[in-house]
Amino acid sequence: MSDHSNCKKNPLAIDRRTALKGLATGVAALALPASDASASVWEAFFQKHFRELSKVELKQVLARLSKEYSEEYGKEVTVKATPAIEGVKYGYGLDLSRCIGCRRCVYACVSENNQSRDPQIHWIRVMQLDKEKGVDLSRAEHYYNPKSVPEDGHFYMPVQCQQCERPPCTKVCPVQATWKEKDGIIVVDYNWCIGCRYCMAACPYGARHFNWGQAQLPAEELNTDTHYLGNRPRPIGVVEKCTFCIQRTREQPGRYPACEEICPVGARKFGDLNDPNSEIRYLIENKRVFIFKEDLNTQPKFLYFYAT
């Protein structure tokens, strides 16, 4: 007697196909938000990729996020998605001859861009290097903490996202949650990021940071002027990075990035690479420019220079 006929005889037996189907449906149901979840959770769950959103959908998404954040932090939070200004390509210059390593930029960035205080996330990392040895990363020290800076025999090199023209990080993203915008800024769609951290492995500058825990962000310190692709509060398990203060620089008129504004020695320069009269073009044409890890051909738009 065959197994097949055996099965038919038992009225309670279910065949393998039905069992697997049932199991799959059950698992899928578990993964979905619970049935009593609010409408916004469902909306977030079925939200499209940022670049596939229609204008109406984008408006709804922004309104939903704004409402969510406002409720969570108890104050009015605006979330915008200002598009790139036509014909602009941002460039950044940092004067290595001026930087004194005071880390004012690091903390200005943290408060402007709503980085998590604990677990700590810093988009800017300042390296202390030997004047004798130049940019030798095996001698870089970023935990330096003397009584006063600059220290004799050292120079300082802040590193943040270099906004590469050929970014290795966006290439490796399996879900295209990170990409280069028209104005050259590399952005992340935090709602689309799956947290695989491939981009962090690909970035040669260590400029990407992962939200290992729920971001601790005091409501009174929250910057309420936020951008969808920039400084809105990030959920756990996504990657974030410097966006040249997208919420400021894409406005017309656009303020300078927070790190540029705070620098006490005026070492930081920002402008439009396409504008021949901009500061950044002047320094490219007239100063000695250093490109960090130039051999990798990432073509950064963050340039180190020597003004003296």
Partner 1 sequence: MNRKSLMFALMVAGLLTAIGLGILGPVQAAKEKYFDRSGRLIVEEKQAAELLRAYDTKNREPEKTFPVPPPPFSEDIFPCSDCHADMEPNLQRRELEDMHTDIVLHHAEGQRWCLDCHNPNDRDVLRLVSGETIPFSESYRLCGQCHGIKLRDWKVGVHGKRTGYWNGDKQYLLCAHCHNPHDPKFKAMKPLPPPVRPGEARH
Amino acid at position 193, single letter = C
CB nearer partner 1, residue 282 or residue 290: 282
Phi-psi region of 280 (alpha: psi -120 to 50; beta: other; left: phi over 0): alpha
Distance of alpha carbon 47 from alpha carbon 40, whole angstroms: 10
Report the first-to-last Cα separation within the chain, whole angstroms. Answer: 94
Letters for 98-117 (x = contact with partner 1 by CB under 8 A, - = none) are --xxxxx-xx----------
CA Rg value for the chain: 24
Choice between 159 and 173, CB closer to partner 1? 159
Placement of tokens 């069992």 in the chain: 19
Contact with partner 1 (CB under 8 A): which of 31, 143, 174, 220?
143
Q: How far is the CB of 218 from partner 1 (least distance, A)?
A: 17
Q: Are 215 and 234 in contact (CB under 8 A)?
A: yes
Nearest CB to partner 1, comparing residues 138 and 145: 145
The verdict on 213 binding partner 1 (CB under 8 A) reads: yes
Q: Looking only at Cα atoms, what is the longest distance across the chain?
A: 94
Burial profile 117-136: b = 16 or more Cβ within 10 angstroms, e = fewer = eeeebbbbbbbbbeeeeebe
Of the ranges 16-24, 166-174, 197-205, 280-288, which one interacts with partner 1 (CB under 8 A)?
280-288
User: Per-residue x/- mask for partner 1, residues 288 to 307, rule CB under 8 A?
Assistant: -------------------x
Total site size for partner 1, rule CB under 8 A: 49
The residue among 154 and 298 lying less far from partner 1, judged by its C-beta, is 154
Does 264 participate in binding partner 1 (rule CB under 8 A)? yes
Among 129, 157, 283, 303, binds partner 1 (CB under 8 A): 283
For the CA atoms of 217, 208, 88, 303, the dihedral, rounded to the nearest 10 degrees, stands at 120
CA-CA distance, 255 to 289, in Å (whole number)?
A: 25
The answer to whether 269 contacts partner 1 (rule: CB under 8 A) is yes
Write each residue from 238 to 257 as x if it is in contact with partner 1 (CB under 8 A), else as -, in one continuous string.
-----------x--xxxxx-
